[in-house]
Structure 1
Amino acid sequence: MLANIGNFLSSGENLVFFVCALLAIGGAIFMISYTQVVHMVLALALTFVSLAGLYVVLQAEFVAVVQILIYAGAISILMIFGIMMTKHHKGDEEEPKRPWHNGLLFVGAAALFGIIFFVIQKTELPSGEFPKFEDNTMEIGKLLFGQHVIPFELMSVLLTVAFIGAIIVAKREED
């Protein structure tokens, strides 16, 4: 099994994948482990940036840039503004006592990693040639504004309605 790990980490691309995957998993674990909301948002941003790194390794540069712009940037900033706009009293809540929590968390994460690693090693992936495009962004644009234009426009209407609904809800709470 150690020989498999050595072969896996022999190329730089696999090493970058491994580091980005560990950072994404670690950020997700920290996200659910922290009790302060600001720390949770920072761990979530780490997960988003690590996922963007995985997209770069997979040669999906457009998706990686969108991941950073929308998720790591906009969503994280929106969460931080939400935290700043709400009232928090630091002394009101008592820290829950969980003495076994960190140990069980580590055991669970290690078990999940082992299962995923075992499944990946035993899986036979089909070999085939995928068409390689010169410009991924142009091909995504052709698909979005050609074949998938209706779902794209429906998503923009849905996001606009959600934004207007959030404004109405915030206005009611203010009154």
Structure 2
Amino acid sequence: MTNISLTDFMEFVTKTGPTKYTKVKQIKSRDKYHPALDFWKPLRDAIIEFHTEEKNRTHFDNLLQSLSDKNKVKSYPELVNRYKSFLGRKTIKWFTPPKGEWKHNDLRIKLNPELGLTINDKKFAIKLYFKSEQLSQMKVDLIILLLNEKLKKPKDVNFAVLDVKHKKFFSSTKLTESHLSLLEGEALSFMQVWMGF
């Protein structure tokens, strides 16, 4: 089986022509994942800890003060402020979000919303997005479609994507299970290019 992240797969799906080939080549030539090389891991972990350990907002200040990587020092403060803004005065409680995978033939996609938050009495399993590039509606729709259709979830949990940098919270899609056939075709295309390297 070939394992890739949901983000990588969606970037492949939304590219066209030769850029699809380039994306697969980039994924295949990338070094094996290591937490130390994950640029967003400290921020992602800090957000999860904030909720799971019911910390106050100075928790984020401690994170920023601990940074030594100049790129994180430059990028993180704005995202921390945007996340605090998202929190606002909402009443929020943590629950463990569902996780799983989507498989088609030899391709396996990890489905792992980082946050499980009850926001004002409504449950959301949330995928975090930190990159500067704004999420397209197509990419959001496909992510939520996969999360909705392939994770075993309680009926009262809604799947969502939070674009932290742009303070956009997406929690619905017009796509239905019938659109999964499009993703199955993309999975076959991905593997055909992958096996060509």
TM bin (shorter chain): under 0.3
Report which of the two has the higher share of strand.
2
- Give the TM-score, by structure 1 length: 0.27
Report which of the two has the higher share of helix.
1
More relative contact order, 1 or 2 (CA 8 Å, 6+ apart): 2
